[in-house]
Each structure stands twice: as structure tokens, then as C-alpha cells.
A and B are shown apart, each in its own frame.
Chain A
């Protein structure tokens, strides 16, 4: 069943006056968008007038429709093309910038939902060796993008600490030799962090991100240690410790750690408590992310999963709570998903989020490297391989060059399948200019890289989130908060852009 909205039957339409656009009935008002990323929120009465071609020169609405490219006879192609290029800048990017390296599959936690298809700490056969690490970095630097971001993932990357150190130092030496811009990030569970490791990460400008699902009872239920024990206390300890060190040194202010949460069924009743913990820990952002039925999560979906509609309800309720905190002045914490969508919608810019692009970021924007040197279109693609299906494997650092990866049939299939103009439903959707589909997600859930949008959980949750965000944009109280978030985010990027090539930089 389509979730698109239709015109009322018998509605007058003057097709000769209307430029190409999509629309959505938001209940009492209509949202209009076009491929240039422009949008308008019209009362239903104004929408009817517009559709009937009754908005004429001199009408206050006319100028707005004209400037945003909704009037066929008044299109400013130069400006609209510039808007398109700004919003879709990634279509002109010379290869991927994000390179995720899985330095080991081993992990000391047994998370309920683990996406990463990890193995027991005894499985040292899944550690990346130094030679493979070197070849991986060489491959990464053979890709053409002048900006390279290396992200350590796992398993738990700190279980293979010597290789993390090696990759960091080798990549930085290569960035210096080749005058490339390099950013490095470590995603770890903090349970194996030490002062020495932290010193190294600070000294080498590696930003740090961890997983924090919420209060102890929730976090420890979602992310237990192998063999039992409480993981959340360690996460909180190191978050506080790192913040203390960052706040004590002006030079380290950019290194403030980030945290990511994953929403399970158990999280649904904890929205405000999760936010409160993030606020208490002084975290700048919270990212309300849905769980994907990929990897181990697919096996336990009946226990930890939920319907996409349930996630949207959780998202809206929790976002409302965050906005209330901002309005009341109790906190200025930002919600990351909202910020990503606002960058696209309000600023007409691409915030670099791989999943919501057309085409998607698979290979074009990111690559994932397994411990054994195999190259995948994304980390999710690696997880599918881990379960015995190599469809998303596009190379090997020991044998492949960049051209063979970008020319790989799977790469082409992913790019084609995630171009929304090829997608039933998406091509008519009002959220198309800002949305994206993920081929691996749909392959896992619907057995096809194209997916089936009318029954896709991806589509339900993303359309739901877009509905929430556009409703907030129409609410003056929420809009003030969202505008402030965008302003703060802009300042952050300006600071980041100022770092010259060849110098290590911090991912934020």
C-alpha cells in the first residue's frame, strides 16, 4: 500500500503553469518539494489555488513559488542548478572519503542486537595482521578523494590495539607524504580503554566515539559483557574521564567524545531517561537510531526488534522531550538525525550521511575493509558476507585496485538501485530530494537490492521521521530550536574546514 498522498478527486490542475514537483498532504497543509531541494509549506487553500494556476503575479505567494522553482514559466535555471549541485555535491565526489576498517571481529561484549557479526575473544584468527593493515592503508590512499576519513570498527578494535596504532601512524605518514587531508576516528566500547591508549589517541588526533544505550539497566541489558558483568559503568567512567581531559586543555576541545545509541524494543520506554543521561554526561548530541534487522539482530528480531511505526512514535516523543529541554534552557543537546535532515532541507546541503543519498554512499562515499583485507560496499555489506553471502564483496586489498572496485558489477547495481528516480514510489515522494534507500538493508529484509518500497520498513521509518521534522519546521517554538542547532552545526564545520591538507584532523 502506497503511503503517498493523492489530490482530492476533482481537484483543478493547471498543468501548463506547474513546474515538476512532488507534494504531500500533511493534514491541513501541503508540503511541496522539487529536485532542486526547494520546499514550501502551503495551507491547503493556497495549495488548491496553486494547483489550479490561480496564483498570479502580484500575489505574495507568487514570488515565493517563483524563487523556489515551482512555476514552469519562471524557472531561473542557473540558480536552481546551483541549488541542485550544492544539495547533491556527493554526485561530483572523486571516490569514497569514509573508510571503515574492521581490525578484528573479536569482541568482549555480546550485544543483543549486534550488527557487526562479532566473534568470541578467543577467535584470534579474525585479527587483522600488520601486512593486511598496510595493504589496506595503501588501497585507501589509492582512492582518488583528497579527503580520507579512516574509522576503526570491530568487533572491539581495542582488542587489536597494535594494529590500530600501526594504521594510525602509517596513514598519517602517507597523508603527509601525499598532502592528503586525513581524519581518524575510533568506535569502541570503552571497556578496554587505558590512559596509555588515550594518550596515543589524543597525540595522534584520533576522535573517539562509543556506544551508550542509556541508563545502566537498559545499557547492560542491550550490551552485556561476555560472561556477565556491567558494561555501562565503564562507558560512563571513560566518557567523563575523556571530557575532563578535553575540558582541561584548550587544544583538546575538539576531541570531546561522541556516543551512539541503538534503539531496541527495551529502549522504547526509556526515551527521556536516555536523553537525561546524555545531558548529564555533557554530550553535545544524541542520535536516535533505529535498529536494523542485519547481522545478529536479524536472528533475534522477535526479541529486540519492533515495527517501523513504533520507532517513529519513539522518535517523535523523544525529540519533543529534547526540544522541550532546549526551550526551557535546561540543556542545548541536539538530535543528530534531525540535524542531518535539517541540513538537507533548510540549508540545501549534504551533511555527509551515507544512507540518505541518491545514489547511496555504498562505494561512492564509503568502503568497509574486513580483517582479512576483503573490501565491501559498506559495513552492512560485510555483515551479509559474514553470514555466508558474498554479494557485497567488491574486492580485496591484496589483489584489487580502485578501478576494479568502482567498476565492479555489485557497485553498479547498488548505485543504480539506490537512485531514487529508478524507484517506484520514491520518484513521486515529497521527501525524495532529501531521502535515500540502502541496497544492503533491502537485500537483507526484502531479498532485492531495489527493495519494495510500499512494504519497506526503511521507507516507513524514514517517511515517518520526515513527517515529524516538517511538522516541527511549521511549529514556531520548535523551529527556533532547530534553527539554533543548524547555526551551531555550521560553526563546527567552519572550524573543521580550516584544517589544512596533510595535517591530521579530528572527526566530530
Chain B
């Protein structure tokens, strides 16, 4: 018995991918800003930017790893349909650069996945100054990568979403 249509099924998975990526984007952005501009002491009432930076960044590490893996798995699942029902029409419509950015996205997602063990270790040892530079820089890379993945995915969906 078909409860939902095939289009609805894949659109729901695309939305799950979107929601996971939004959570990941928020966590990584907070963490990257906190890592690069940590708040040592706040005198008086803190403004928005200070409060944005004042999150307990080490506590985000495990959640970021889990969200990256989950977003990656769901993205990998819907990629099978993208390859046939989205990419082929995009190529037929000569959207070459759009297609190139999607390929860029898949590579950046894989590189990010491979960084997670060291990223997690650096944050779990955030008290140790020897890990300060790699911890900050890996976090900034992952945050920048996540923004790139999110924007490319958004543009791809605008170009041709699953329901189109």
C-alpha cells in the first residue's frame, strides 16, 4: 500500500538532509567563532556578537561529528536519485557550472568526513595548548566547508528540486 507518493518520499528525505545540515551549520558556526574569538571575560551586559561567541565550544564536538555523519549518510542515500532524476536533466539543460559545483560539494563532504577523528580528538583535549592551532584551523575548515555544502545544495535545489 502506497501511503505517500515516490516524489513525497524523496522530498521528505531531502528535508531531513536539510534539517540535519541546518543543525550542523549552526553548531559549527558557533564553534568556529568561539574558537577564533573566545570570550574570556564579559564586563557589563553582553551584546549579540559576544553571546554568539560565548557558547561552550568543546561541548559541540561530539554533536558536530554525529551530525556530519548523519547528514553525509542521508545525502548519500538521496544522491542515488539525484544522479538519475536531477543530474541528467541538468546536463541536458547545459547547467555545466551547477553540475561542477555539485561534484565539488561531494568531494568537500568526503574530505570533511575524513577530518572528524582528529577534530574530535583536538576538541576533547582543548585544555592542551599544543592542539590550539590545529583545533581552531580544522574547525574553521569544517565550518567553511559546511557553509559551502549548504549553499551549493540550496542552489541545486532551486535549480531542480526533487518535486520538479
- The finding on whether chains A and B are genuine partners in a shared complex, rather than unrelated, reads no
**Chain A residues engaging chain B, CB cutoff 8 angstroms:** none
**Chain B residues engaging chain A, CB cutoff 8 angstroms:** none
